[in-house]
Structure formats: C-alpha cells, structure tokens
Homo-oligomer: A and B are copies of this chain.
Amino acid sequence: MKPVETISWDDTDQAVHLIDQTRLPGGYRNVRCASVDRLIRAIQRLEVRGAPALGVAGAMGVALAARRIHDKDFLQFSEKLAIEAERLRRARPTAVNLSWGVDRVMARAATGLSVKEVRDLTLSEALSVADDDARTCHILGGVGAAILPEKCTILTHCNAGALACREWGTALGVVRSAVESGKEVRVIACETRPLLQGARLTAWELQRDGIGITVIPDSSAAYLMRQGMVDLVLVGADRVTSDVVFNKIGTYMHAICARHHKIPFYVAAPLSTFDPVRTEDDVEVEQRGREEVASFAGVETVPPGVPVLNYGFDATPLSLVEGIITEKGVLRAPLDWDFISREQKK
C-alpha cells in the first residue's frame, strides 16, 4: 500500500500539497496551497496538523513565500520574506515545531546573497526538513518499539501518526515499528473531542495498515484502565518545555489516571519538539472557537448563548511522564537539557 504522504512539495506547480485532514475518514482530498495565505488557512483550519507536520508546513511555507514575493530588489525581497515568515510562525501558537521549521529555513535563507539563491536555498532546506522528519520518525519508532512488551494494548490520544508528520508518525510510528518487528500491539484510540482526530485520523491510518484499533470516548479511558484493559499510554507532543509536555487537550487527564493505575505514560516526540528555554507559564495555550464544541455537521449541540471554553492543548508535568521517546533514545526526568540542546544544534 502506498504510504500516506501528509504534506509534500509539488515541483510542477511550485506549491505545497497536503491531505485535507478535516475531511477524513469520509473523504480523501488533496489541497493545493499555492499562496502563503492559503497555507496559513490550512494550518488554522487543521487541514494540516500535528507538531512534526507543522514543522514541515512552516519550512515549506518559507520556500513558498520566497517564490511568491516578486520584488527584484534583494533588500525589499528579504524584508517581505521576514514578514511572511513571522505570519507563518504565528499561525498557531502552541506547537513549537511550526516556528522551528520556519526558523530552520530562515537561517538557511540568511546565507543567500540574491533572490534566486534564497529561493533555491529555502526550497532545498524545506525538502531536507521533510526528509529529516521522515527519517527521524523511523529512528524514533525503532527506539520506542524496543521498550514495548511483546504483546500489549496501547491507549493513545489524538493523532500522533503519519498524518501528524511527513509519514510513519511519532507515537503511531512506535506502534508501526513494533508491529514490523513482530510484536503484537493493539491500539485503543480516544476519539479526541472536539475535532475527533483520534476517531477520524488515528483509526483511519491504523485500519489502513491492518493494525488492531478500537475507538472509545475520551472519558472512558480511566474506566478501561480500571478494568486492566490498558498496558501503556503513548501520546505525541506539541512542545516539551523544561517542566511540562504540551499536547492535545485531554492528555493531562490520561497522565493523571495512568499514574493512579500505575500504568506507564510515555510521550513520543522528536527533539525538534523540545523547547529548553521556556516553561509552562511562557507558552500560550490556544483557545479555539466555540463552534468546534457547540455544533456538529450543522446541528447545534449547545444552546445558543451558552459560553464554551475550548482549549486546544493542556500541560502535563514531567513528573507524570515515564519517559519521552526521541530519535536519540528514551529520555527520563530529570531531563538532561545540555544533551538536548547540543543534539538539537547538530
């Protein structure tokens, strides 16, 4: 089966192509982002989402911007590119990978001395971000697979799969690598309200790969733990600061409940997700629109006028995390930030 290609650069039309993840599982549609505006909209509407995929989107966004700015004057071109880069960085605030991807390509752009050279450099660096992401996920998958029992049921939340990355996935990359190595792994996917990335995306991509998958409402995870139906919790991350893991809303409650039941709670995240210089208080947790919770398929589920609080993410203290599976091994608290910063610079 052809692997999922979540996000890619199309050379023919010089545009970013991505799978519209808001339509899955009902429809499989590719979206062509030929402008930075369209790409930002795709990011904000979650047509593309997931920390590593956002890193690739940010990187490709800079390459796209460099193609769409028509100034011939190099200074004017560079100023506009910096503005576009900043707009991309701000498209969503919580996942660190988005600005990481933008920054990595912008650093490369800074070495260019002409418009043409910057166009070439940004594209080659963006493609290398995408390739690195795919390679990193495979390595990380192998690291994680090694620590899984021969036979286990893993509870996951949201989608940290191929659709959250260039391909393979982080948390689901671990599952894929384990299955590939012959381990018997089954997955319980929390549906992940309000946008149902678990029900829609995780279920879709694991079914596609023939991996055992069951969907549950988010609120039943603890009861399944109580009944001994969960061996391990494994989720992705949008940002790892010096004190907490930011990830999809709901992650924190799973971590608390896992600890209560003495079930190990693991995070899978590439080093590009780590943000050594910030703490929980420094990071903005995105609050998303009322309508995501208050209606579905055009049907109102909350009475008009009743307010809704819709946090996109939450924060899980590292003390609740058994280990963070990275491409450089499983990191455990207290994290060795010197090592992480050194590896990030490589």
Contact = CB atoms under 8 A, between A and B. Distances in A.
A113 interface: no
Contact of A26 (B190, B250, B300, B308): B300
B249 A301 contact: no
B215 A293 contact: yes
A306 interface: yes
Interface string A239-261: 00000000001101100110110
B302 A203 contact: yes
Interface stretch (A12-20, A71-79, A194-202, A331-339): A194-202
Interface stretch (A57-65, A86-94, A120-128, A218-226): A218-226
Interface residues of A, number: 54
Contacts of A190: 219
A172 to B, nearest CB: 14
Given A217-B249, A222-B253, A260-B260, A199 B302 contact: yes
Given A226-B314, A260-B260, A307 B252 contact: no
10 contacts: A25-B300, A25-B301, A25-B302, A213-B307, A214-B307, A217-B218, A217-B250, A217-B310, A260-B260, A296-B296
Interface of A: 25-26, 188, 190-194, 196, 199-200, 203-204, 207, 213-224, 226, 249-250, 252-253, 256-257, 259-260, 293-294, 296-303, 305-311, 314-315
